[in-house]
Each structure stands twice: as structure tokens, then as C-alpha cells.
Amino acid sequence: MSDVVKLHYDVDGDNFMAAGEASSTVKNVLKRLGFGEDLVRRAAICLYEGEINMVIHANGGTIDVSVSPQTIEMVLQDQGGGIPDIEQAMQEGFSTASDRVRDLGFGAGMGLPNMRRYADSLEISSEPGQGTRVTMTLNIAPA
Ligand SMILES: Nc1ncnc2c1ncn2[C@@H]1O[C@H](COP(=O)(O)OP(=O)(O)O)[C@@H](O)[C@H]1O
Ligand SMILES: [Mg+2]
């Protein structure tokens, strides 16, 4: 069946005022579409973490969300420096965030672990110097 809803956002790099806006908009849309609290919360956490990562690590990027009857799929694409060692980046507490970014309250190294925890599937492909693509899917439980 075709997708019901498609959303697209451009995320600015290094703009901490706007960081999290796209994920909060998507959260409201999913709520309005009538999805359960737990699913909406999980989707919002995953998207927020991915969005913040593009802001602080990749100089921004794009977010595409497709809601089909079966799944919520979220694709985050950037043209930042990439992740040289994805396995290392996935470890709890691992962060390359600068002191400035940490002073702003980011960089705890829990973003990717939380994305893995709350998404039903998480795929990361990254090319150092080219960028990173993160695809997260949440399954919509049949009513
Ligand atoms: N989109 C991205 N582009 C480049 N590096 C990234 C990206 N997302 C994550 N990373 C790398 O993976 C590390 C771990 O990410 P994460 O678990 O979200 O922790 P944090 O963002 O707090 O540093 C980051 O510190 C960074 O080195
Ligand atoms: Mg992060």
C-alpha cells in the first residue's frame, strides 16, 4: 500500500536554537495521526537523537519521514565528515563532541545507543569525508 504521510525537513548545522525542531514537529504529527503514546515517544527519541547528531557532528542534513500503514521510516542524511568506526560510535558514552558542545548539554554519547534501543531497526552507512545516512524503522503494531 502507498505511503500515507511523507515529511521532509532541512536541519541547519550548528544552530542550537533550532536543534530538535524537526523531531518535535514530527512528534506532533504522529500524535495527531493517532499513534499510541509509546510508539510516538520512541519515534521522537530516535529522531531527536539523529537530528542533534547532524547538528553537532555533521553541519546539518535532511530528514525524511514516511508513514505507511505498517511502518514509520525515518531517514537522516548528511554530508558531514562521516563516522570512521561505527561499532565504536555505537558504544555507550563514546563521543567526539567538543567541550563547547558539551557545555551546551550535548555529547553524553548516548544518542546512537538510544536509537538502537528504541528503533525496531537501525541502519547506518557512512563514508568518511562524504557523509552519513541513518535509517530507522518503527513497526506499527496492528490495532
Ligand atoms: N551524523 C554524524 N556524523 C558524524 N559523526 C557522527 C554522526 N552521528 C554520530 N556521530 C559520531 O558518533 C559518536 C556517538 O554519537 P552519539 O551516541 O549520538 O553521542 P554524542 O552525540 O553524544 O557524541 C559521536 O560523538 C560522533 O563521533
Ligand atoms: Mg548524539
Condensed to tens digits (0 to 9), the pLDDT of residues 74-121 reads 999 999 999 999 999 999 999 999 999 999 999 999 999 999 999 999
Whether the CB-CB separation of 122 and 138 falls below 8 Å is answered with no
107 touches ligand 1 (CB under 6 Å):
yes
Query: Which ligand 1 atom sits nearest the alpha carbon of residue 96?
Result: 25
> What is the CA(77)–ligand 2 centre distance, in A?
15
Contacts of 59 (CB under 8 A, 6+ apart): 13, 14, 78, 79, 80
Q: Grid coordinates in use for 140?
A: 506499527
Number of domains in the chain: 1
Give the per-residue pLDDT at 3: 60
CA–CA distance, 49 with 59 (Å, rounded to integer): 15
Give the per-residue pLDDT at 142: 75
Contacts of 117 (CB under 8 A, 6+ apart): none
CA–CA distance, 3 with 60 (Å, rounded to integer): 26
Name the DSSP class of 34: T
Query: Which ligand 1 atom sits nearest the alpha carbon of residue 108?
Result: 22
Q: Whose CA is nearest to atom 25 of ligand 1?
A: 95
Residue 19's domain comprises: 5-139
CATH code: domain of residue 55: 3.30.565.10
Tens digit of each residue's pLDDT (9 = 90 or more) over 27-38: 999 999 999 999
80 touches ligand 1 (CB under 6 Å):
yes
Beta bridge partners of 110: none
pTM: 0.96
Give strand ranges (E) for 13-129. Answer: 60-67, 71-78, 121-127
